Amino acid sequence: MLIRILLDEKLSHFTNLDVISGKVLLHLLKKSHVTSIIVKLEGESKTRLLSANDMQRPLMEDHKFLYKIQEVFPNKNSQNHAPSQQSFASDVGQHVYPFRFKVPFNNMCLITQNSSIRHVKQTLPPSLAGFSNEVEIFYYLKATVNRAGIFKENPRARETIIFLPIEPPRPEVVDGETYARCHHQFNSVLGTSETKNTQRGIFNRKLKEKLTDSPMPNYLAGPRFVVDVRLPVPSILTCNRELPLRIIVKQLDDHLDPLYLQLLQIELIGYTKLRAQGITQTKTNQWVVVSVGNTQMQIGSPRNAVGTETEIDSKYWLTKPLSSTIAPTFTTCIVSRVYELGIRVGLNYGTFARNQGRAPVILPFRIPVKVYSGVTPPQALLEATSIGVGSVAPLTEEQFLPNSPTDTRSGSTVEPAQSPRNHCLPQQEAFPCPDYHLSAQTALGYEEAPPSYEDAIAENLPPLMAQRQYYVPISPSNDVSGFSRDNRRDQNSDR
């Protein structure tokens, strides 16, 4: 007995509202008795953490947040039908059984009696893998042939799919910008062009002789600058798209020598919070967006008036979209991820010849951001649902983001990211829905949770036709490839 899942359309990734349809191909080498054929659409998250007390014993958590079932044989075309114990004789040859699932919006958690998970109701998370197998979020279709008899193996086939969710409704863009600001004052060595213009007369020769005999160079207070890193309000980045970023340098003093941009590094920092058996850990990932050095790009001009603002050329990041491996911001019962945008600006002050071999002054910035998938929800759904009111308070970045670094270099002051007043917007993480979870006992009876309001509305909506972003996470390979045998036991499929 061989079984295989064949999808009607194998997309690079699926999203909410998509119809996943296909066929279960059953090839019988001899006449067999079959009780039922079950197809499941499942979403599962796994975490594996090392305990602080016993480093040799990892703590693991396995949580199913999506569980939809369809019985394709006997042909009763009902997902809520409990299979009978009657077996049916099937002839030799190939048999085809079609199936169809519509992907919901929100998770439908399976709750077990021994689980200590604090469940939340949110939009389905994206497929995710990484951190040396410490976390994995994956979706798959599984077909099981239930056979009569205690000692009969139940063949299975499994097809892994990649999922990227529809983004939540975007808040209206308002005037103003979120920003992180850093002040810096350069030091000027006596004898430069600035000091030569200020130290004139009969005392200049004596001062020069004194400085020549001094073992350490003397410094005067140099010009002051302030650097702003700005993002729109709200600070939302989109997968596979460029950064809506502005970097502005403001001159606070008169100066005679030029200011140069020597180095620019931009990276997206992801903080993934993992939970397993009561243990919580936060893992960090970095995706480099821009990394350029030795640019020697002059910023403004020494002839500019005090208060002049110069915007750094955006050519460095406008041609650098976010990596296709970046998952959007999400929250689940045992895995959550938020992001920060990290920027390092390296500046040099003085003539080009004098700056050769001199390390630039590095000014660091951090701004909390949200990353959206770029898959826009259909207008019909937005009009049919009330937006912006959730039953569960969304997880905020401040709950597990580490403190933003500050520059302890002399003369530098870093201000945290701020937003203009009166521009605070309510957070909108997921489509509102009632708090409902699928119990383990119900799942074993092949029953499903009642749909949430937006899922009920979505049943009448066509599949999403909007442009999809390219998403290629590190995903697990399919356990079943083509016709093959899968004799592993499944705790829910053979009951």
Min mean pLDDT across 14-28, 47-61, 158-172, 340-354 is at 47-61
pLDDT for the residue 247 = 97
* pLDDT mean over 434-439: 35
Q: Does residue 81 contact residue 370 with C-beta atoms inside 8 Å?
A: no
For residues 187 and 194, give the distance between their C-alpha atoms in angstroms, rounded to a whole number: 11
Q: What's the pLDDT tens digit per position in 12-58?
A: 899 998 999 999 999 988 888 888 999 999 999 999 988 766 667 78
pLDDT for the residue 124 = 94
Give the helix/strand (H/E) hosting 214. Answer: none
Question: What is residue 383's three-state secondary structure?
Answer: helix
Give the C-alpha distances (Å, rounded to integers) separating 225 from 181, 185, 190, 255, 418.
Answer: 11, 6, 20, 10, 19
* pLDDT mean over 97-106: 92
- The dihedral built from the CA positions of residue 477, 478, 479 and 482, taken in this order, carries a sign that is negative
Q: Tokens 């030029």 map to which residue?
A: 258
DSSP 110-131: EE-TT--------BPPPPEEET
For residues 478 and 157, give the distance between their C-alpha atoms in angstroms, rounded to a whole number: 10
* pLDDT mean over 129-149: 88
Tokens standing for residue 365: 């910035």
The more confident residue out of 446 and 401 is 401
Tokens standing for residue 11: 């997309």
Strand ranges (E), 19-155 = 19-28, 32-50, 58-73, 88-90, 93-102, 110-111, 128-130, 135-147
For residues 379 and 205, give the distance between their C-alpha atoms in angstroms, rounded to a whole number: 77
Identify the top-confidence range among 148-152, 182-186, 473-477: 182-186
For residues 387 and 392, give the distance between their C-alpha atoms in angstroms, rounded to a whole number: 14
* pLDDT mean over 491-495: 38
Q: What's the pLDDT tens digit per position in 402-411?
A: 444 444 343 5
What is the percent of the chain with per-residue pLDDT over 90, rounded to a whole number? 41
Q: Does residue 181 contact residue 228 with C-beta atoms inside 8 Å?
A: yes
pLDDT for the residue 313 = 94
pLDDT for the residue 275 = 92
Give the helix/strand (H/E) hosting 455. Answer: helix 453-458
For residues 366 and 417, give the distance between their C-alpha atoms in angstroms, rounded to a whole number: 7
For residues 270 and 265, give the distance between their C-alpha atoms in angstroms, rounded to a whole number: 16
Min mean pLDDT across 11-25, 145-159, 208-222, 434-448 is at 434-448
Tokens standing for residue 487: 């004799």
Give the helix/strand (H/E) hosting 211. Answer: helix 202-213
What is the percent of the chain with per-residue pLDDT over 70, rounded to a whole number? 65
The more confident residue out of 8 and 173 is 8
Q: How many CA atoms lie within 13 Å of 301's alpha carbon, on the beta-carbon side?
A: 3
Tokens standing for residue 286: 């970095």
Tokens standing for residue 183: 């002040």
Closest to 410 (Cα-Cα) out of 183, 215, 210: 183
Min mean pLDDT across 139-143, 148-152, 234-238, 283-287 is at 148-152
Give the helix/strand (H/E) hosting 177. Answer: strand 174-189
Min mean pLDDT across 46-60, 128-142, 448-462 is at 448-462
For residues 185 and 206, give the distance between their C-alpha atoms in angstroms, rounded to a whole number: 28
The more confident residue out of 459 and 63 is 63
Sketch out the chain's domains with CATH numbers: 2-167+432-458 (2.60.40.640), 174-377+393-418 (no CATH)
Closest to 32 (Cα-Cα) out of 73, 4, 1: 1
- The Cβ of residue 60 has, within 10 Å, a number of other Cβ atoms equal to 12
* pLDDT mean over 343-348: 96
Q: Does residue 2 contact residue 484 with C-beta atoms inside 8 Å?
A: yes
For residues 469 and 491, give the distance between their C-alpha atoms in angstroms, rounded to a whole number: 36
Q: Residue 322, by phi and psi: left (phi above 0), alpha (psi -120 to 50) or beta?
A: beta
Give the C-alpha distances (Å, rounded to integers) separating 24 from 93, 94, 158.
Answer: 14, 10, 10
